[in-house]
Chains A and B, each alone.
Chain A
Amino acid sequence: MTYSAAVRDYLLAFADDEHLVGARHTSWIGLGPFLEEDLAFCSIAQDELGHAIGLYGLLLADVGELDTFALLRASQDYRSCWLAEIECRDWNDSLVRHWLYDRAEALRWEALAASPDADIAALAARAQREESFHLAHADQFMSRVAANDTSGRIVDSIRRLAPVAAGIWDATAAESDVLAEGFVTDSSADLAARWNDQIRADIARWGLAAEWSDAGVVAAQQHRTQRSEGFDAFHDDLQRVLSLDTAATW
């Protein structure tokens, strides 16, 4: 499949988001709050990495390039949003990121499921089945901890991370061309409006009160060309094994 440069950039943004948020989620392997949650959360991480492989696969002529492409690009060539990049050391932050990200991810796949491109539509259909589980998991866990959030830690996480999550909707530079081609029908701005309604409805349903102000992340990301603070250390970690011998055959 030959995609236009605009579509490639659009798909790369989604692929990098899935890759990096999946990789960040995996940091909880063996450290989850209890065994069952450890398994469930890492299963979600694995799904996100699977989505990334599917999306990268559409961009690569030869799947053999996958590791090099996913891990050894220069940092300015990534198109990830900051929410997917940042380290969340505390479980409450990781949980809140999972909820904010998956709310957005489900909308992004929904928009791609209607694409006239058969490859992306098929990938979206598969991902949507997994997303329904991710959303159920986020809702179930968040609703339980929200009911016991006497210390306000969950509300604090939402206040800090919701403005970063808004950066998911920072469109790649040529998104208007992607829309003009008809590859996807909903603009990032349209999806952002729906996402905002959904997360505010969730917060109200959980009995929480959380307000936040725009932290300017969308503008600072500059159409996803700027990396967040701490990205280089994360990138180094991801590359560590592969860069021992870049010519090795795995």
Chain B
Amino acid sequence: MNVYEVFLKKPGRDEFRHAGSLEAPDPEMALMYARESYARRGEGAEMWLVDRADVLVADEADLAVNVDKPHRHNDGSLVAARRKDRREGAGSDE
């Protein structure tokens, strides 16, 4: 048996989303089982299956080095705080 990853897309502008995985002996039966396991209540209008053996998996250690880099989280809050300080400190200059 092979493992397949199942992706479903609802009608409209939503993207494909991972729905789950399943085991099947081959691609034809995988499509049949995916329909019965993940789409039997009309959960999606389109479905992708990917053989898990075809998924490229990144090294977790490579990803971990980027966990502690808050300066890359640019949500604008640092700039906003500095502008606020400037505004309040400058008083009548505003």
Contact = CB atoms under 8 A, between A and B. Distances in A.
A36 B28 contact: no
Interface stretch (B30-38, B45-53, B54-62): B30-38
Nearest to A37: B33
Interface stretch (A136-144, A157-165, A211-219, A232-240): A136-144
B19 interface: no
B25 A40 contact: no
Contact of A40 (B26, B28, B32): B32
Contacts of B24: 36
Interface residues of B, number: 14
A156 to B, nearest CB: 22
A34 interface: yes
A247 to B, nearest CB: 34
A43 B29 contact: no
Contacts of B22: 35-36
Contact of A43 (B23, B28, B40): B40
Contacts of B32: 40, 133, 136-137, 140
Contact of B37 (A39, A133, A137, A141): A39
A4 B22 CA distance: 49
Interface string A18-38: 000000000000000011110
A34 B23 CA distance: 9
B29 A144 contact: yes
B28 A140 contact: yes
B66 to A, nearest CB: 37
A137 B37 CA distance: 14
Nearest to B24: A36
A138 to B, nearest CB: 11
A40 B23 contact: no
B6 to A, nearest CB: 11
Contacts of B25: 144
A140 B26 CA distance: 10
Which has the most chain A C-beta neighbours within 10 Å: B25, B32, B40?
B32
A40 B22 CA distance: 12
Nearest to A43: B36
Nearest to B35: A133
Contact of A39 (B26, B28, B29, B33): B33
A140 B28 CA distance: 8
Contacts of A133: 32, 35
A40 B26 CA distance: 16
Contacts of A140: 28-29, 32
Nearest to A46: B40
Interface in A38-53: 39-40, 43
B2 to A, nearest CB: 12
B23 A36 contact: yes
A183 to B, nearest CB: 33
Interface of B: 1, 22-26, 28-29, 32-33, 35-37, 40
Interface of A: 34-37, 39-40, 43, 133, 136-137, 140-141, 144
6 contacts: A36-B22, A36-B23, A39-B33, A136-B32, A140-B32, A144-B26
